Amino acid sequence: MHRVLIENSGHTFDVRPSQTVLEAAIQAGINLPYGCRNGACGACKGKILTGKVVHDDYQGNALSDAELATGMALFCCARPLEDLVIECRQIEAIQGIKPRILPVRIQSKEQLTDDVMVLQLQLPATESFSFMAGQYIEFLLKDGRRRAFSIANAPHESGFIELHIRLIEGGHFTAQVFNELPVKTILRIEAPLGSFYLREQSDKPIIMVAGGTGFAPVKGMIEHMIFNQSQRPVMLYRGVRHVNDLYMDALCQRWTQFMPNIQYIPVISNGSDQDGWQGRRGLVHQAVLDDYADLSGFEVYACGAPGMVDTAKETFTKQGLPDEAFYSDAFTFAPQ
Ligand code: FES
């Protein structure tokens, strides 16, 4: 067992030999920022001030060799070899919400496009379940693997969890969801997870950038804001390849009709002149750059494929967005 001290907060916690720094912190109720929990997104990056760690496998775009050499680490895959003193990018209390392992029952399945299924999971009636709009769950599969999906509903809609599941080519679990698992199947999840959630203490206007099923957590955040009658301006940019991929388009249109602070800008990247689309075309992050020459007064919430999220961050910060005003959740696919 090794002890970790977070220098900038004074918190300490113990890490068992089988645990990563992040797993132990979550178990101790200490909120380090994180996203994928498998070394792919870089959200959990922090600095080791003293002590040594060994890393499990991770992706080079999440932590470069140069960063590693200066003492940076990915806490989701770093295992201490001795006691540590670390520094973290941020530590925020998520209203005392700790993740738990729960059984859930598939309540309904609705296929909305060729490759998007909306799943409703019923939570145990005896357990209360709290989460922040935008967080995610992980399915705990029988073979020990985990699969992460964002929660698409808002916290006030209790008793169930809505997920938007895209069929991944060669993805065993998503193929099962589409073709096998019937309604009433019981699955196990760990939830809620992740530090991609709506920061409600700010009143800055929000630009939301959602690629594909990255719409799910953004939907949860917007429905949460509507429930709370938030007047913060929200500009929702949704990027999809084809017109047919724009599931729940009517819902987004409806939001704008009764909430004048919400704007909705769908952007199609791979359409053709024959598809009848009258709206914006191109890449979704570019639409934001075209519309806002100065992003310094905004907060951005971005969710989608890692390439889109990385490009958005890089280009938006060049256009004035402060680093700390960019919140993201990149879909990552856990190594098989
Ligand atoms: S790299 Fe650690 S949470 Fe994504």
Mean pLDDT of the chain: 90
In this prediction, residues 185-212 reach a mean pLDDT of 92
Q: Is 101 exposed, middle or buried (0-12, 13-18, 19+ CB in 10 A)?
A: exposed
For domain 100-193, the CATH architecture is: Beta Barrel (2.40)
Q: Which of 288, 301, 139, 286 is nearest to 220 (CA)?
A: 301
Per-residue pLDDT of 275-330, as tens digits, reads: 889 999 999 999 999 999 999 999 999 999 888 998 999 999 999 999 999 998 86
Cα–Cα distance measured from residue 45 to residue 43, given in angstroms and rounded to the nearest whole number: 6
Q: How far is the CA of 327 from the centre of ligand 1 (A)?
A: 14
- With a pLDDT cut of 70, the percent of the chain lying above it is 96
Per-residue pLDDT of 34-79, as tens digits, reads: 878 888 888 888 999 999 999 999 988 889 999 999 999 999 999 9
Higher pLDDT, 105 or 31: 105
Domain boundaries, the chain: 2-88, 100-193, 206-330
Q: Is the CB of 34 under 6 A from ligand 1?
A: yes
Q: Which of 199, 144, 139 is nearest to 163 (CA)?
A: 139
Contact 162, 152 (CB under 8 A): yes
- φ, ψ for residue 21, nearest 5 deg: -60, -40
| 44, 56, 59, 146, best to mutate for ligand 1 pocket (most atoms within 8 Å of CB) | 44
Q: Is the CB of 224 under 6 A from ligand 1?
A: no
Q: Give the number of the atom of ligand 1 that is nearest the alpha carbon of residue 77.
A: 2
Cα–Cα distance measured from residue 138 to residue 150, given in angstroms and rounded to the nearest whole number: 9
Q: Is the CB of 35 under 6 A from ligand 1?
A: yes
Q: How far is the CA of 148 from the centre of ligand 1 (A)?
A: 13
**Tokens (6 digits) for 309:** 């999220």
The predicted pLDDT at position 17 comes to 85
Q: Which CATH code for domain 206-330?
A: 3.40.50.80
Q: Is the CB of 196 under 6 A from ligand 1?
A: no
Cα–Cα distance measured from residue 206 to residue 88, given in angstroms and rounded to the nearest whole number: 25
Q: Domain 2-88 classified CATH 3.10.20.30?
A: yes
Q: Residue 133: which pLDDT band, with cuts at 50, 70 and 90?
A: very high
Q: How far is the CA of 35 from the centre of ligand 1 (A)?
A: 5
The answer, yes or no, to whether residue 334 has pLDDT greater than 80, is no
**Tokens (6 digits) for 27:** 């178990």
**How far is C-alpha 287 from the geometric centre of its chain's CA atoms?**
22
Cα–Cα distance measured from residue 320 to residue 316, given in angstroms and rounded to the nearest whole number: 7
What does the DSSP 8-state code read for residue 124?
P
Confirm whether 2-88 and 100-193 share one CATH topology.
Answer: no
Q: Give the number of the atom of ligand 1 that is nearest the alpha carbon of residue 76.
A: 2
Report CA torsion sign: 243, 247, 252, 257: positive
Cα–Cα distance measured from residue 272 to residue 200, given in angstroms and rounded to the nearest whole number: 40
Cα–Cα distance measured from residue 197 to residue 178, given in angstroms and rounded to the nearest whole number: 28
